[in-house]
Chains A and B, each alone.
Chain A
Amino acid sequence: MKKSDTQKIALLLWILFSIFFCLKSLKLEIGRPSHPGPGFMPLLVGIFMGTTSLITLLTSIWTEKGINNERKDGKLFPLVHLRKPIFVYVAIATYGLTLNFFGYLISTSLLMFFLFKYIEPQKLLTALIATILTVYLSYLIFVIWLGCQFPTFPTFQGL
């Protein structure tokens, strides 16, 4: 898919989002200009966003140069290069799901070990040492010294 086509799809999505935003705003009390209600500003913002997106879309269709740089080649979202980011993303999401379940130390150790081992392949010992150091220091700094409240021991709230 060409970059300009991707841009047009993005702009269409913006228009759809604006319509959705306006419809949701209408369910709130709009009020009158002399007494604006909670829906007044959202409606104005939705209309402005939709109008601007529409103008941008029409401009890009008419000029066909678009507002992107056609000199650049290549796919915008190359799937083969996204493998690593996707795995990292899933790892962070898993961390979010397990933090309250396993506690800070275990969840963070698993996350850090995965990141140290996976982002660039490293020796097992290096990854382990880096994990232990990072988790220990972060615990000292954030939990002990600064008093941030994390689950500090394994909990089983899900059971």
Chain B
Amino acid sequence: MDFLSAFLSGFHIALDPMNLFYCFSGAILGTLIGVLPGLGPAPTIALLLPITFRLGPVQSTIMLAGIYYGAMYGGSTTSILVNIPGEAASVVTCLDGYEMAKKGRAGPALGISAFGSFIGGTLSVLGLMLLAKPLAGVALKFGPPEYFGILCLGLTLVIYLAQKSILKSLIMASFGLALGVVGMDIVTGDVRFGFGIAELNDGVGLVPTLMGLFGISEVILNLEKEMRIDFIKSKINNLLPTLRDWADSKMAIARGTIIGFLLGILPGGGSIVASFVSYALEKKFSRHPEKFGTGVIEGVAAPETANNAASGGAFIPLFALGIPANVTMALLLTCLMIHGLQPGPTLINLHPDVFWGTVGSMYIGNIMCLIFNLPMIGVWVQVLRVPYKLLFPLIILFCTIGAYSVNNSTFDIFLMLFFGVLGYIFRKLEFELPPLVLAFILGPMLETALRQSLILSKGSFMIFFTRPIAGVAMGFIFVSLVLSAIPGLKTLRKKVIEEKEEEF
């Protein structure tokens, strides 16, 4: 199928009424999740995963993808109006977004955020469309050592880019790998670390784990203290940015798109990292860096563009390599496998309807999200006024239903509670969760690649250094670890993190 006919067939699939409905549902649900603090896109997708059993692979992917990029749009609303990030990738938007709102410029902040997200999101889908298939062609030459190298690189990146202690992130990543080995060994059939519990023969459930780590622990943390919501009381008007706003933001949007897209492709990169890096870079390039944090529009445009561009870029390793770049992509990978598809380099050729249908729906979904976030902003403002005492029980109910409905087992509810407590303790002790979750998801793939590689090389670990692509990945890993150990860079990194803590 040539490129143009494939592209058009994708739109034909996306414009099917039922697929349009699922795209709409995903986009609006994602925007809602992004607006509401407490549940991010990953737990929401985990919650809805059982529901996709009843849908086809195209509809499921379209809907879940819509939730992902929709959340990137919605997260800015709470950041700007309430100074609480709706989801993690919108943390940086609080810095200048809320300050703009305090000055009576909530409208332009919301407007540039929506437009920046639309531009970044749409251009990243273009990049996905152009790059995924050629990369899949290259990936056909990948063997187990190459996959091992890339997976290790992804884990190393998420550890290196962790907000706090790298050593603690390493511990969390190894704990995630440890969780990943629980269950039946695929080669020998031996049950590992099952402790006689039949439910653990298939491994630790992903959905209850995520519900617990992110959902329940978030609720416990919020119940521990009284959440004050300082809502901006002034009327929100002038959603369209002025010409001056566009002039100030254009380079931020351009740079945010490129940075977000590139970081989104890297396993371990993602929207959160992209938003921070984009903000830091914009501050560095600015003629008035001292104004960042006081309400400059570039401080909103850059991270919001970057996080949406990253969301599109993240689909490339999923479709081209079968490697999830982040937790949300890992859930999408799970969704594809549930429907009997084998993610990897052959997916695009064997199931072009899934790939091109998703691409087509992403173009349409970005337009929908722009409409949700501009003319319909009033709706989200009302949603934000729903008291937390009504929201918390609903979050708990959704988490519990999500955990139970995967296997119709109450064991999963208790597993969710166990990880809820663990997640709470980890957060209090400043052990970050993303390295744990990514390692948990990538662990089984990593082990398979390791074992196959060692069998190929007859036990020699040098295979990871003598194969070119694997060797390059190992080189990057070595450089990242060395950089993290250099005292000057350590101090600089620590200073940046402390500055961010003070600002929050």
Q: Measured between alpha carbons, how far is A93 from B414 in the docked complex, in Å? A: 7
- On whether the beta carbons of A56 and B171 are closer than 8 Å, the reply is yes
Q: How many A-B residue pairs have CB under 8 A?
A: 161
**Is B192 located at the chain interface by the 8 A CB criterion?**
yes
**A residues within 8 A CB of B454?**
33-36
**B residues within 8 A CB of A34?**
454-455, 457-459
Q: Measured between alpha carbons, how far is A97 from B417 in the docked complex, in Å? A: 12
Chain B residues bordering chain A, tally (CB within 8 A): 62
Chain A interface residue bracket vs B = 35 or more
**Is B433 located at the chain interface by the 8 A CB criterion?**
no
**A residues within 8 A CB of B165?**
56, 67
Q: Which B388-407 residues have C-beta < 8 A from chain A?
A: 388-390, 392-394, 396-397, 400-401, 404-405
- On whether the beta carbons of B414 and A148 are closer than 8 Å, the reply is no
- On whether the beta carbons of B171 and A53 are closer than 8 Å, the reply is yes
Can you name the residue of chain B whose Cβ is closest to the Cβ of A81? B224
Contact pattern, B 144-168, Cβ under 8 Å of A = 1, otherwise 0: 0000000000000000000011011
Q: Measured between alpha carbons, how far is A146 from B429 in the docked complex, in Å? A: 39
**A residues within 8 A CB of B363?**
none
Q: With A21-B178, A36-B450 in contact, is A59–B167 under 8 Å at CB?
A: yes
Min Cβ gap A1→B in Å is 13
**Is A124 located at the chain interface by the 8 A CB criterion?**
no
Q: Measured between alpha carbons, how far is A111 from B421 in the docked complex, in Å? A: 19
Q: Measured between alpha carbons, how far is A68 from B455 in the docked complex, in Å? A: 43
Contact pattern, B 465-496, Cβ under 8 Å of A = 1, otherwise 0: 00000000000000000000000000000000
Q: Which B134-190 residues have C-beta < 8 A from chain A?
A: 164-165, 167-168, 170-171, 174-175, 177-178, 181, 185, 187-188, 190
Q: Measured between alpha carbons, how far is A55 from B178 in the docked complex, in Å? A: 19
Q: Which A1-45 residues have C-beta < 8 A from chain B?
A: 6-7, 10, 14, 21, 24, 28-29, 32-42, 45
**B residues within 8 A CB of A136?**
none
Q: With A38-B190, A49-B178 in contact, is A138–B455 under 8 Å at CB?
A: no
**B residues within 8 A CB of A84?**
223-224
**B residues within 8 A CB of A144?**
none
Q: With A67-B167, A146-B51 in contact, is A130–B185 under 8 Å at CB?
A: no
**Residue from A38, A56, A69, A78 with most neighbouring chain B CB atoms (10 Å):** A38
**Is B260 located at the chain interface by the 8 A CB criterion?**
no
Q: Which A89-111 residues have C-beta < 8 A from chain B?
A: 89, 92-93, 95-97, 99-100, 108, 111
Query: Which 8 residue pairs are nearest across A and B when measured between Cβ atoms?
Result: A34-B459, A33-B459, A120-B389, A115-B393, A96-B413, A49-B174, A38-B185, A85-B220
**B residues lining the A interface (CB < 8 Å):** 50-51, 54, 164-165, 167-168, 170-171, 174-175, 177-178, 181, 185, 187-188, 190, 192-193, 216, 219-220, 223-225, 387-390, 392-394, 396-397, 400-401, 404-405, 408, 410, 413-414, 417, 420-421, 424, 428-431, 447, 450-451, 454-455, 457-461, 501
